[in-house]
Each structure stands twice: as C-alpha cells, then as structure tokens.
Amino acid sequence: MITVLAVQFAVAAVAPLLFRKFGRNAFFALAAVPAASFIWLILQHDAIYSDAGHSPGAITEVWPWIPELQLDLAFRMDALAWVMSLLILGVGALVLVYCARYFSDKDDNLGGFGAQLLAFAGAMFGLVTADDLLLMFIFWELTTVLSYLLIGYARTRLSARRSALQALVVTTAGGLAMLVGLIILGSTAGTYRIQAILDEAPALLAGPAAGAVSAAVVLILIGAITKSALVPFHFWLPGAMAAPTPVSAYLHAAAMVKAGIYLVARLAPGFTEAPPWLPIVLGLGLTTMLVGGYRALRQTDIKLILAYGTVSQLGFLTMVMGLGTPEAALAGLALLVAHALFKATLFLVVGIIDHQAGTRDIRELSGVYGSARALAIVAAIGTASMAGIPPLAGFVAKESVFEAFVHYRSESGTGPWLLAGLVLGSVLTFAYSARFMWGAFALKPGVEPTAFKPITPAFLAAPAILSFLTILYGLWPAPVDGWVQPYAALFVDGTADGATSSPGHLALWHGVTPALGLTALTFALGLAMFYGRNVVSRLQSRVPGWIDADRAYQQTIGALDDTAVWITGRTQRGSLFFYLSVILTVAFVLPLTALLLADNPLPPNLYFVDPGSPLQLVAGAGIVIGALAAVRANKRFLAVLMVSVTGYGIALMFALQGAPDLALTQMLVETIILVAFVLAMRSLPAGLRDRTGGKYRVIRVVIGLAFGATMIFVAIYALGARVAPPVSLQFPQLAYEGGGGLNVVNVTLVDIRAWDTFGEISVLALAATGVASLIFVRGRGDRIRASASVAEGTVGRRTGARGSTRDDAALAMNRRFAAATRDAWLVAGRTLAPERRSIIFEVVTRLIFHSMIVFSLYLLLAGHNLPGGGFAGGLTAGLALTIRYLAGGRFELREATPVGAGTLLGIGLATAAAAGMTPLLLGGQVFQSAIVELWLPVFGDIKFVTSTIFDIGVYIVVVGLALDVLRSLGAEIDEHFEEQPGLSEDHEAVGGSAAAENDAENEDAEYADEESADAETTARGRT
C-alpha cells in the first residue's frame, strides 16, 4: 500500500513534464498508474477474502513515525477498503483515459490538472486504507485541498473560483470539527488505531466516558455530512459543477463525496449504538434524499440534474450505510458500487454532450438520440440503473435496500415514516432520471435539432465500459456479493440492532416480496410524476425563493465580510503607534493580572548580577545605552546601528554565561540583519520623522516600561514555578549517546528537535520568497544581467560626471586597475565606476573571502562537537558573500554565486527532507540519526553522524537566504537606481547635468590611449 501511494504521488510530481512532451496524450501515461494499482489490488483478493464470511482477512502495513505521540503510518486493507479502492483506482483510470480526448492541447495548465487528479486518486486511496485516525485526517484534508484546485481549474472564471472557495470553506469547517472529534475519540480510547477503537467501541459506549464518545461521534459525523454534501451543507456540490466534467465524474460521483459515506461505513460496526448516531444518520440522510430529488426536478442543466441527483443518492447511501444491520450493510455497500458505476457513466456522457453540442440546456438540446445513438444507449443504461430498473446494478442494490428497511421496520417496531420517505425519495429518483434522459436525447417539439459532432470511439470508451459493468453487475451480482459479505458479517456479532439476523445475499430475483412491491409502486409513481412534469413544475414555482441553503450561505459569508470590514476599519488605522500600543498593552496587562491574582511569592536566591561574571554589568549598560540611543536617534542608519548594539550586547551576555554557540549565532545574525537594514534603507529618506505627537510620548514611555517590567517578573516567576527537574538536564547525555555529539545546542537542533529545525528552515525559505516577491516584478532575480565593463566606458560614462570632484590621479589609478586582466575573480574593476570603488576594501576582500568560506565549512563540520553548526556556518558564508557584494557590486555577486538563491533554498530543503525520510525507508524513524565509525588513511578514526547531512541542508538554506537578501535588497535596488537615476543622489547628479556627461566622455577619451598602452604592455608581458 505504501508503494501504491508513493507511485501515485511520484508520477503526479513529474506529470507536468510528461504533458510538456506528449501533450494531452500524457493522460494515457497517468492512467497507467491507477490501472497498474488496480491490477495489484485484484491480486490481493485472496489474501483479504481467504476466510470470507467467518473471520474476514486484512492486509496491514505499519511504518513507525512518532511512537511517543502514537503517530504511525498504519494502513489496513480489509473488505471495505478493498471495495472502495476498487472504485477509486478503476474509475480513476477510466476518467484519466477519458481526459485524453475531453481536453485539447490548447487548454491551459493540463500538466497541473493531470498531476492534481492523479494525486487526488492517491489521497483517496490513502484515506480508505489508513488505519490511524490522524493519518486518515491528513489524507482527508489533502482531498479537500486537491478538490479545491480541481474545481477551480478554470481560474479565469468567477463562478469556478467562487465554487471552489465555497467547497473549500464548507468541507474544511467540517474537517476541523471532525479533527476535534477524532482527538477526543483517540484520547478516550487510548489509541488512534481505527480497528482497535472499533474493537473497544462497546466498552467505550458503556463506560464512564460514554458522554465524551457520543460528543466525538457527533463531531465526526459533522465532518462526514459536510464532505458528502448532506443537508444543510448540500449546496456546495451543485456549485462544484463549475469544474470540468471529468472532475465531476470522479470527485463528485465516484470518489470524494464518498469519503463521508466511507467514514460512516467504517465507524458503523462500532458506534451505531451511540445515542446520537441514528437520529443524525437517518434524519439528515432522508432529508437530503428528498431535498436533492426535489431540486433535481427543477433544473434545466443536465449536469445540475445529475448533481442534485448525486446529493439525493448520497443521503440515500448515508441512511443505508448507517442503519447498522447486516442486511443494510450488505445493501449499502452494494448500492455504493452501483452508484459509482452509473453516476460516473452519466457524468462522462454529459461531458461528451457538452463537448460535441456546446450546450447542456435541456431547452436547447433536441434530437441528440438521432445524431449519437451509441451515446444514447450508454446513457440509457446508466439512467435505467439510477432509476432502479431491472436487470441492472441499480435494481439489484435498491431491492436489497428496500428489503433491509422492511426487515428493520418489522424488527425494531418503528413507524412507517422511514420506509415511506425512502419510497418517496426513490420516486423522485425515477422522475429525475426520466427527466435527464428526455432532456438530453429526446426530439422536442418546436426546438431545432441540435448540431452534434461525431464521437470518436476513444472518447466513448470510458462511459461504455462503465455501462457494460453496470449490466454485468445486474445480471451476475455474485462477485459483488462476495466482496461485500465480509463487511456485512461485522454486524452479526451483536454490535448493532438486528444482530441475530443474517446479511442475506445479492440476487437479480428474490421472488415476489414486499420489496418488489415497493419497486413497482416506485415505477408507477415515478412515471406519473414525469408525465405530469408541467403540473409538478407549477407547484414548485410556488415555493418561496428564500428557502435556499446556498442563499443562506452567501448571506452568512456576506455578514462575516461586513463584520470584518467594520472591525478592520476601527482597528487597522495605519498607525504603528496604535498597533504597538494594543499589542504591548494586552501583552503586559493579562500576564500582570494573572500574577497579581496568583499572589505567589518571589522565588528565593534572587540576585541582580551573576557574582561570577561582573562583566554582565558592562554588557547590560551597553544594551541600555543602545536602546536609549535608538529611541533618540534622528537618522535611520543611526537607529539601526544602535539596535544592533543591543544585539551585540546580548551576544556578549551569552558568551559570559558560557553559551558560545548562542553568542556566535547571535553575533552573526545581528551582523547580517544590520547589512539587510542598511541595504533596504537606501530606498528610504535618511531622516526619521516623529509620526506621533508629543501628547503620546508619555503613553509610549509608560507602556514600554510596563511591558519590560512585566516581562522581567514573568520570567522570574516562571523560573520559580518549576516543580519538576528541567528536561534540559538530560540533554548532554541524550546529545552524546543518542546524537553522537558533544555540542548540546547543535545536536538538539539537528537531532533531538529536528522537526522544529525543519519547520524553521521552511519558514526561512517562505520568508525569503515573500521578500523577493515584494521586490521582483517579473522574476526572482536569480540571474543578474551582464553589464559592460568600466573599461569599455559604459558605466564610467554614466557616472563619470562625479569624477570631477575626485583627485585626477586617483581616478587614473582606478581606471588602470579596472582595465587590468589579472586576478579577475574580483570583477569590481570592470563593473563599478572609479569614484564608487574602494581599493582598500577590495584588497581586504581578496584576503579574507576564501578564509571566511573555509571557516564557514569548518563551523559546519565541527558543529557537532564544538561551537558552530550549519546555521552559524551558513551565516558566516552569507557574510562572506556580503563583503564581496559590498566590494564589487551586483555583478561581482553574480560572478561569485552562479547558482540562484531559489535553487539553493530548494536544494537545502530537499537535502534536509531527504535526511529525514531516508531512515524511514531503511526501517527507522523520520529524522533518526545513525553513527558511523570508520578508519580512513591519513584521517585516522572517523565518527560520522548522519544528522550532519541534515545540518548541510540547513547550511545551504541559510546561504540561499543570505543570497536572496543580497539580490533582493542589494542587486535589485542597484538596478532600479541605474535605470531611474532620480532615485538616488548620485544618479540625480548624473542625470541632471548634460555638461558633466560630456566632460565624462572627454575624460574617457583622454584615458583611452593609456588603457590601450596598458593592455598592450600586459599582452606583451604574457607573451
């Protein structure tokens, strides 16, 4: 099962490349993946059904993930999961084949669409095979996200975006409620394994935690009814018909909306005795069946007829699967298979009609039967099965459903309302089935025959195969009966009402029974309703328009938007003083109130300064002076510099307290932040304006002092409130024995708390991308355009006007240095104007750059046992690149780093992820480290810890982040200044004087002979 999942997602990842090469025919390659998985599934039949009817078999796979949190990659393939997987993989393969002729090579983003559809198949397969509640929820939400993307495929259409967002909001809200229920249920049961919870269900419902279990069941059912579009959340499914028809056929007929039905079916063997179960399942199921059927009769779009029909059938399925009797379980799973076959067939037929005729409106479609008889026959088979007409799959399944509810009424003694509602819903189903067939294919009086393009066999293949399977299922239901019997047997062991009854069996003919009589009544009333459709339409028109769930949803969202606008207008006032006042006031008032109410004494042994380190007074004084100077500064640069002074003071504090790792990291971070601020401030005015009046200064002082004092006492009380030994006391031993290193800080980052570090570097990558997206308009700017050299006169001519203010001899020396071809690794001489260069800085850069890079690698490799690590090493390398940029400008930065920042960030994240996943593939846990001891010539005994690979990923991410900052805040702003001289004082002077420009050109001419002579001398010397 893990392999099937991995293949699905792996091929989905490369799908865009396949479409780029093969066009729409790449859908055939994608279809091969679920098709091969389908074959694998068939081969597992004997392992699952070896003891069918007695002790149902199952295939289990468990990969340890986080055992301490009871999180495992646990999968279980039993009869229910096998049948669901059969539909997911089989129908998925046919839909992908259908897509190869439904779409055109001219359609946009086919690669993304194909990848999402295949990934959805993988997510659904993971959902139905997951044997862990939290793992199932992960796949559940993954299907939600992918369905949002697939529904919104036509992103330029407002209706598609609106429908996708509506589906996302409704199903995500239900999913969050379900998550709470899953956590309650797993915590109460003491395990998150689904099968173990079902085994303990009777004891849980009878125990002291029965109330919590009932609450959990309600919350889980909320997730199921939102996912399967039951009333009152049914409106999102018809809206999702804005998606391409293959999406509707797969997600909204055969797969996604079945997720809620699957959840009900999965929990029914254990929790049908829970008090809220039957009222919710039967009440909402019957209401949805009737509402969906009623709304289907009002539609003029054949796709919407099927959409509301799907809503009705989902209510029907929920009732049957949740009833909790062996007969109902058998009939429900049989109906689920039949529904997937006929409804997928009909949606694909609608797609062909829309594709070939250009319309889905029954008022415009006329005579399609005469133009596409094969299509009409396929549609007639699917429609007849949906209506429950023999000898098709729908008839076999619906007869079993009627039989189950007849027996349930007689055994439970309930009133006739449930059975009567079921018959009425079936009558509506028959009526809208006839309406669909008549509307799509009949020749209508007064309507011109619809022009219809010929259909290729490849286009018709998928619905034809599904219709054939519908016939085969109806005539020979024995295989399906064998598939569903093990699931029905779960209800015989006394876990639900009617436990003493047998599941029965599926058959085309059961004789003359009450169920057959109900079927005949359904046909008669359904035909009468169809032929009296005009009367029905007039009656429906009298129903008030305000009875509409979709309208209620829109009004609710509108009210939320209005409330948000009202609150935003009163809180988001564009005042930094206001925002900080609110944040800091809340941040000190609430903790201070808690401290006062607690009335706890201060902890003993408090001291103002560590007796062993009196230098803390010096560092503290420096921090205070830096903070006060930053507040009083009237220049941006001075303010930032003073803030950095406080940061360096904190680094000194760390060093004095014996934390060299923290001190080193703090110092490097402060330095790189200082550079980033200085680069960004070039686009801002030099002076700082006091944006708040004098009347607010006292308030700011009070809030600042109160916040600082409160945080001090919070920290003191927090340290004194400890009642257990700190977990950090065990870190040295854990670091050495488990992580194989002496540096507790670095081992903690890359081993003990590797998940935290991976999340942090992911945030770093996102932050870098966000900064770049704010600055770069057309691209990330990974590649900086080449520029003509100063020696050729391009840059020198542009900025040469300022050369008149410099010493002529210095300019001459700079120009000669620019023309030199030796030591070309620092190209500042060819890209910077002479007046902007610093020879001393360039010489220093030549001396220390390589040493800093080597030192950064030393910090990376030595960090496991000595101060350093990937983060500190990456910051050191970033500072080396910063120095090189400051010495040579943006083109020097381009020469120094031919690899783009985005590429480095991606490589770093991939390296860290690979370091985490590789142990899992080798039978270990995610981010588990291994210690390799070996002897190498020259090097001697070597102890290598595999977490170093993760640290290398951190190093690369940090270097990529530094490079992104330099290219965003440095190189890109440089380019803006060069393209728009008015942005800086230097370029204003250049652009404002034509005479200076001419002087610069004359000056270039004067030095041309000298440069030629230098070049000739150099060439002669090399010769």
DSSP assignment of 4-46, as one string? Answer: HHHHHHHHHHHHHHHHHHHGGGHHHHHHHHHHHHHHHHHHTHH
With beta carbons less than 8 A apart as the criterion, state whether 717 and 595 touch: yes
DSSP state of 111: H
Kindly report the number of other CB atoms within 10 A of residue 414's CB atom: 14
- The residue type of 489 is A
Cβ atoms of residues 140 and 178 within 8 Å: yes
Q: If the chain, 1023 residues long, is cut into consecutive pieces of 10 residues, what is the mean pLDDT of each piece?
A: 92 92 92 95 89 63 79 90 95 94 86 93 95 94 94 86 92 95 94 92 91 95 94 90 90 83 94 93 94 91 94 95 92 95 95 92 91 94 95 94 90 81 94 94 89 91 95 94 91 52 80 90 93 83 72 87 89 83 90 81 77 83 90 85 91 88 88 85 73 70 90 84 80 85 88 88 84 63 47 40 43 48 61 76 88 93 89 92 86 81 90 89 83 78 86 93 84 69 43 34 40 39 36
Measured in degrees and rounded to the nearest 5, phi and psi for residue 687 equal: -85, 155
Which tokens sit at 693?
Answer: 């009046």
At 968, the amino acid letter reads S
Non-local CB neighbours of 205 within 8 Å, separated by 6+ positions: 213, 214, 271, 273, 274
Rounded Cα distance, 386 and 470, in Å: 10
- pLDDT value at residue 279: 93
Q: What is the dihedral of CA 743, 747, 749, 750, to 10 degrees?
A: 140
- pLDDT tens for each residue of 209-218: 899 999 999 9
**Close Cβ partners of 558 (under 8 Å, ≥ 6 residues apart):** none
Residue 123: how many CA atoms within 13 Å on its side-chain side? 22
Residue among 275, 356, 343 nearest 310 (CA): 343
Both tokens of residue 349? Answer: 């037929």
For residue 72, give the DSSP letter. Answer: E
CA dihedral sign, ordered 454, 460, 463, 467: positive
The type of residue at 889 is G
Residue 51's pLDDT is what?
59
Closest CA to 280 of 323, 237, 331: 323
pLDDT at 988: 36
Q: Which two tokens stand for residue 736?
A: 């050495």
Phi, psi of 103 (to 5 degrees): -95, 165
> Considering only CA atoms, which of 828, 958, 826 is closest in space to residue 901?
958
Q: What is the pLDDT of residue 598?
A: 77
Percent of the chain with pLDDT over 70: 86
SS3 for 781-834 is CCCCCCCCCCCCCHHHHHHHHHHHHCCHHHHHHHHHHHHCCCCCCCCHHHHCCH
- Nearest CA-CA partner of 325 in 381, 405, 259: 405
| pLDDT number for residue 812 | 53
Q: 603 in the Ramachandran plot: left (φ > 0), alpha (ψ -120 to 50) or beta? A: beta
CB 318 within 8 A of CB 264: yes
Residue 1004: what pLDDT?
Answer: 40
Tokens 């009296």, residue located: 532
Residue 373 CA to residue 380 CA, distance in Å, equals 10
- What confidence score (pLDDT) does residue 56 get? 58
Burial class for 537, CB neighbours closer than 10 Å (0-12, 13-18, 19+): exposed
Q: What is the pLDDT of residue 1013?
A: 40
- Alpha helices (H) along 230-325: 236-239, 245-249, 258-271, 277-296, 302-322
712-742 burial, b at 16+ Cβ within 10 Å, e below that, comes to eebeebeeeeeeeeeeeeebeebbeeebbbe
Q: Using the CB atoms, write b or e for 485-497: b if 16+ within 10 Å.
A: bbbbbbbbeebbb
